[in-house]
Amino acid sequence: MTTDQWVTFTKVGTVDLVRLAGEIDLANAPEIGREIVRQTGHAGAVLIDLTAVSFLDSAGVRLLDGLVGDLDDQGTPIRFVVGATGPARMTLQLCAFRDDLLATDLDRAASELAP
Amino acid sequence: MTDSGDGGPDVTQDVQVPWEEDPGDLYDNAPCGYLTTLPDGTIVKVNETFLDWTGYERRSLVGRRRFRDLLSPGDKIYYETHYAPLLSMQNDVHEVAFDLVCADGRRLPILANSALGRDPAGLPRVIRTTIFNATERRGYEKELLAARRAAEASERRVRVLQEIVADLAAAPTEADVAEAVVRAPAPAFGASSATVWLSDPDRDQLTAIACTDPAGPARDDVPRGSSRAVAEVARRGDLHVIGSIEEAEEHFPDLAAAMRRDRRGTAVLLPLTASAAEDQAGVEVLGVLGFDFVEQRELTDSELRVVRLLGHQAGQALDRARLYDDLGRREIRSIFLAETTRALEVVPRLMPRARRLIERMVPEMAEWAEVRLHVGPAGLLADAGGPAPDPDRLDERIVEVLASGQTQLTDDKGPDPDCAVLPLVANGKVFGTLALRMAPGRRTAVTEAVFLAALADRAALALENARLYEQQRAIARTLQRSLLANDLPSDPRFAVETHYQAAAHDLEVGGDWFDAFLITPDKLAVVVGDVVGRGIDAATTMGQLRSAIRALASAEAGPARLLERLDRFVERVESARMATVAYAEVDLSTNEMTYACAGHVPPLLAEPGGPPRYLLDARSGALGSRAGRSMRLEHRTRLPAGSRLLLYTDGLIERRNRGIDAGFEVLARAYAGRRDSPLPGLAAGLADFLVGREHADDVCLLCLSIGVEERLERSIGADPLQIALLRKDLRGWLIANDVDDDSTQAVLLACSEAVANAIEHGYRDDPFGIVEVVAAVSPQAVEVRVRDQGQWRATNADTARGRGLKLIRQVMDHASFDHDEGTTVTMRRNRREAR
């Protein structure tokens, strides 16, 4: 199974930008998680764009939570870009993600991560 | 004695000779030997002639030896048992043959006459014996005897030869010929043992195939290039008679050793050739017959002639047997090739065809075989039998053969010298390889080179055809799918469910299609059609017709006008002629439907509260039909909310063992029975019920549902991938029911978590478990019930699931969990207006 349709990787300056799209759930979250870890292993900072995510369940939350844990341990800064409303924000807020992890503006978040 | 009266000479008296006749001289020098002996045989008087012939001195005989003492041992016995008794009974004996032993040991054949003199009392007094030299006469007799014996021996040899020739004529195989030949030397020449070696060009050796020794020569195979006597004789092609061990020692040490070991005095090595010995040059030696004698023995000219004749006869028989074998093999090969070609034709697809090829080869001709085709991204491999050769070396060789296109019948570099690799060539390109090891007991790949090349050619052709078929089929399928799967419209006012089922048994794609599109925001068109023919042409034509309908449909035209335009289209696209179409337009604001059927099976309409009915109006001929009604008709009917319209192709109702009328009836009943079934899965369920898995034709269905389902009911398998599909249905249903966005998101999340919980938790050990989901909407709330039959195990360790359950409680206004026979989650979310 390829994860291309759900996750793509680019760079904004020195920041690794991970764009997630579509529905992230039990069926694809573990795969996507492995792919993100593989691609961002040596990143200086990671920005995860969730604005195109149309559904996010607890398996997706588990994936993002694990990611934050790993990167925090390494001292790598991470941010999630979510819309002002929408499924991703709803789920992350319900799961009480820290406010400092969430951003709404991608460019601003990128420049904050890599000043 | 009396005088004769006629006055002639008195012959009672000796004629006086004019010289002195000395009686002593006459006695001594008479032309015969003369002996006087006593009755016991003691010599008392002997003449000079006797002494002269025998070389004895008088004094060594007279008074010292008896007559019988001078006879050979056999004759002494004869003297005692016959001669002496006969003499004493009849007083004389005539012309008895004896061998006298002379003074120097030489034997002198004689004829003896004896007379016995008696005294007045009648008692034996003296024996007088005359001896005639019988040397010449006995020699002549001997010659006669030898000649007779020679004639008999020759006759026997000829008889043996005749028998052998008869046996050879009846011997069908080389082995039988060898068996017949090896039996000849004993009766024909008195040979002690014999062995036949057959020339085997495949193995480049002379194979010891038959032997008179019951133990047999322990597989005494001789390489053709060896210096051994057998190989040398086979190379020279002429008869060798090795008279003694010493002679063998000189030329063939190996033969000398064998002769010494087996105590043989003479050995003969005879090449077996098909043509006469005279024109040896260039004659192929087909084998060697070796035979030997315990004694040292010379072969006479006549024996040598017979030996050569035997070699020639055996050679011809071998030649014939070899041709016969070849013919038999060639016939078997051509039958094999023909049958293989036929067997491959039966299976059109590539992989089954490759498998079939391998199955034909193993184990009949090869103990291991493998086909590799370099097609597609992964290639294709089929193999059977064993043991498989060293994989690394095989890979290397396959790369070589693919690059060079050259067959490798053997391999001198790897651990599997007998493994052959042949290129599979089509259109001048090597697109795969056929590797094999011949079955044990079969001729080698080198010998079968021509046959294997023919097999590889046929296999390549068959596999290339299958590859092309596969390619075309893939293109047709892709084309068909791309045309069928395009986004169908969805709208809260209607729902479309479709199903396409390709024919079983790997037939080519058909030209069935469905389509649904919005002509205007309020006007929906649904189509099911069927193009004549199969394969890529049918798929292409289907695509053209589908596009044409989309292009030609307009808000004003209506179905009849559309069909008229299609008739004109078909005039230009000949392959679309005789295509059939069922077409309906539905005004979504009034639920009024207009439909038309061009040669197509009638739509089936199920209205709420009534049995399904076929729409039999507005029928006309197939597109471009010259025989059918060309006047295009359309019919108008109203669809009450909750109606379901079914369009389908004839594959759904046509079955070999059922008339089409019966088919219509069965379909109507099945459709009626499913009127309360959820729309998703309805079309597939009908197809499954009506045609099953063994359907011979493509089947295409489109079901249009007008109005919205009040309850959403789904049963999904315990597979995480199913959750996304459920969400899709649920989202559409919630939107169709005007549920607000926040509530929709909440219900989707809660429902997903509940189903994920059932799959991950309840059906942890049961991949075939089913999760039932029922959703109902009221003006105040959305209610969802998720039920599984799995095992509930409360484990606090599973924090992730805990998060899921927490999410359910957070987004829903009410959630309850019931763990009785599985788990039932009942959830309610109040709608925004009611919150």
Q: What is the pLDDT of residue B693?
A: 64
Q: How far is A102 from chain B (nearest CA, A)?
A: 19
Residues of A with Cβ-Cβ distance to B727 under 8 angstroms: 23, 55
Instruction: Give me the half-sphere count of Cα atoms (radius 13 Å) on the Cβ side of residue B775.
Output: 26
Report B:793-812 residues touching A (Cβ under 8 A). 800-801, 803-804, 807, 810-811
Chain mean position to CA B548: 54
State whether B745 and A90 contact (CB < 8 Å).
yes
Cβ-nearest to A27 among B721, B745, B807: B721
The pLDDT, as a whole number, for residue B801 is 67
CB-CB under 8 Å, A58 with B807: yes
Q: How far apart are CA B353 and CA B458, in angstroms?
A: 12
B389: pLDDT strictly greater than 70: yes
- In 10 A of CB B96, how many CB atoms? 18
Q: Cβ A26–B723 below 8 Å, yes or no?
A: yes
Cβ–Cβ contacts within 10 Å for residue A98, how many? 9
Residues whose CB falls within 8 Å of the CB of residue B667, separated by 6 or more in sequence, listed in order: B604, B648, B652, B653, B686, B690
User: In whole angstroms, how large is the CA radius of gyration of chain B?
Assistant: 57
Q: What are the chain B neighbours of A82 within 8 Å (beta carbons)?
A: none
Q: Tell me if A94 and B807 make a contact (CB, 8 A cut-off).
A: yes
The DSSP line for B343-392 is: HHHH--SHHHHHHHHHHHHTTTTEEEEEEEE--TTT-EEEEEESPPPPHH
Residue B720 has its nearest CB partner, among A27, A61, A87, at A27
Cα gap B232→B237, rounded to integer Å: 8
Higher pLDDT, B729 or B739: B739
Q: Please report residues of A whose CB lies closer than 8 A to that of B753.
A: 57-58
Q: At what angle do helices A87-94 and B741-757 cross, to 10 degrees?
A: 60
When pLDDT is averaged across residues B636-642 and rounded to a whole number, the result is: 86
pLDDT of residue B798: 58
Q: What pTM, to 2 d.p., does this model score?
A: 0.42
Reading the block at residue B350, the tokens are: 């590539």
Structure tokens, B449: 């080179």
pLDDT digits (tens, 9 = 90+) for B433-475: 999 998 876 777 888 888 889 899 989 988 888 888 877 777 7
Q: Across residues B726-754, what is the average pLDDT?
A: 88
Percentages helix, strand, coil for chain A (3-state, rounded to 5) are: 40, 30, 30
Burial of B731 (0-12, 13-18, 19+ CB in 10 A): middle
Angle at B526 between CA B521 and CA B528, to 5 degrees: 160
Give the range among A87-91, B405-409, B531-535, B604-608 with minimum mean pLDDT: B531-535
Length of chain A (residues)? 115
CA B834 to chain CA centroid, Å, is: 79
Q: What is the mean pLDDT of residues B354-380?
A: 86
Q: What is the pLDDT of residues B663-720, one digit of tens each?
A: 898 899 999 888 767 777 788 888 888 887 666 778 889 999 887 656 777 888 888 8
| Encoded tokens for B404 | 């060079």
- Residues of A within 8 A of B719 (CB-CB) are 27
Expressed in percent and rounded to 5, the helix, strand and coil fractions of chain B are: 40, 25, 30
DSSP state, B217? -
Look up residue B450 and give its amino acid: V
Q: How far is A72 from chain B (nearest CA, A)?
A: 20
Is the model's pLDDT at B2 over the cut of 50? Answer: no
Residues 697-756 of B with CB under 8 A from A: 719-721, 723-724, 727, 745-746, 748-749, 752-753, 756
Predicted pLDDT of residue B451: 87
In B, minimum Cα distance to A1 occurs at B721
More reliable by pLDDT, B673 or B480: B673
- Please tell me what DSSP assigns to residue B122: S
What is the pLDDT averaged over residues B278-302?
80
Chain B contact set for A59 (CB, 8 A): 756, 800
| C-alpha torsion angle, residues B300, B306, B312, B314 (rounded to 10) | -120
- pLDDT-derived band at B768, boundaries 50, 70, 90: confident
- A93 to chain B: which residues are within 8 Å by CB? none
Q: B743 contacts in A (CB within 8 Å)? A: none
**CA dist., res. B732 & res. B723, Å (int):** 14
**Closest residue to B753, CB basis, from A27, A57, A87:** A57
CA B364 vs. chain centroid, Å, equals 2
A27 chain-B contacts, CB cut-off 8 A: 719-721, 723-724
Q: What pLDDT score does B336 carry?
A: 86
Does B172 score more than 80 pLDDT?
no
Average pLDDT over every residue of B248-263: 88
- Chain A residues within 8 Å of chain B (Cβ atoms): 23, 25-27, 55, 57-59, 61-62, 87, 90-91, 94-95
Which chain B residues are Cβ-neighbours of A62 within 8 angstroms?
Answer: 800, 803
Residues B645-660 pLDDT 10s:
999 998 888 876 777 7
Say how many CB pairs under 8 Å bridge A and B: 54
Query: Residue B259 corresponds to which amino acid?
Result: M
- How far does the CA of residue A103 sit from the closest CA of chain B (Å)? 21
pLDDT over 60 (residue B507): no
Is B115 part of the contact surface with chain A (CB cutoff 8 Å)? no
Q: For an interface test with A, which of B725, B745, B759 has the most A Cβ atoms less than 10 Å from its Cβ?
A: B745
Is residue B712 within 8 Å of B775, Cβ to Cβ? Answer: yes
Residue B346's contacts (CB-CB under 8 Å, 6 or more residues apart) are: B356
B489/B46: higher pLDDT? B46
The pLDDT mean for chain B works out to 84
Question: Are residues B803 and A62, on separate chains, in Cβ contact within 8 Å?
Answer: yes
Q: Which among B724, B727, B804 is the nearest to A58, CB-wise?
A: B804
Inter-chain CB proximity B807 and A90 less than 8 Å: no
Contact yes or no for B748 and A95 at CB 8 A: no
User: Which pair of structure tokens corresponds to residue B645?
Assistant: 């319209």
Burial class (CB in 10 A: 0-12, 13-18, 19+), B499: buried
Q: Report the pLDDT value the prediction gives residue B649, as an integer from 0 to 100.
A: 92
Residue B792's nearest CA partner among B815, B768, B823, B752 is B823
φ/ψ (deg, to 5) at B283:
-80, 135
Rounded to the nearest 10°, the torsion over CA B351, B354, B357, B361 is -110
When CB atoms are compared, the residue of B745, B746, B756 closest to A26 is B756
Cα nearest neighbour of B804 on chain A: A58
Considering only CB atoms, B749 lies closest to which of A27, A62, A91, namely A91
Per-residue confidence (pLDDT) for residue B218, from 0 to 100: 54
Task: Determine whether the interchain pair A95/B720 forms a contact, defined as Cβ–Cβ distance below 8 Å.
Answer: no
Does ipTM exceed 0.95? no
What residues contact residue B472 under an 8 Å CB cut-off, 6+ apart? B508, B535, B536
pLDDT attached to residue B68:
87
C-alpha span between B172 and B790 (Å, rounded): 75
Dihedral of CA atoms B345, B349, B354, B356 in degrees, nearest 10, equals: -50
Contact B727 A55 (CB under 8 A): yes
Given phi > 0 = left and psi -120 to 50 = alpha, else beta, which region is B263? left
**Radius of gyration of chain A from Cα atoms?**
13
Q: Please give the Cα distance from B42 to B50 (Å, whole number).
A: 15
Please check the confidence at residue B14 and state whether its pLDDT lies above 70.
no
- Chain A residues with CB-CB distance to B752 below 8 A: 25-26, 55, 57
Q: Residues 6 or more apart from B624 whose CB is under 8 A from it?
A: B567, B570, B571, B576, B577, B578, B579
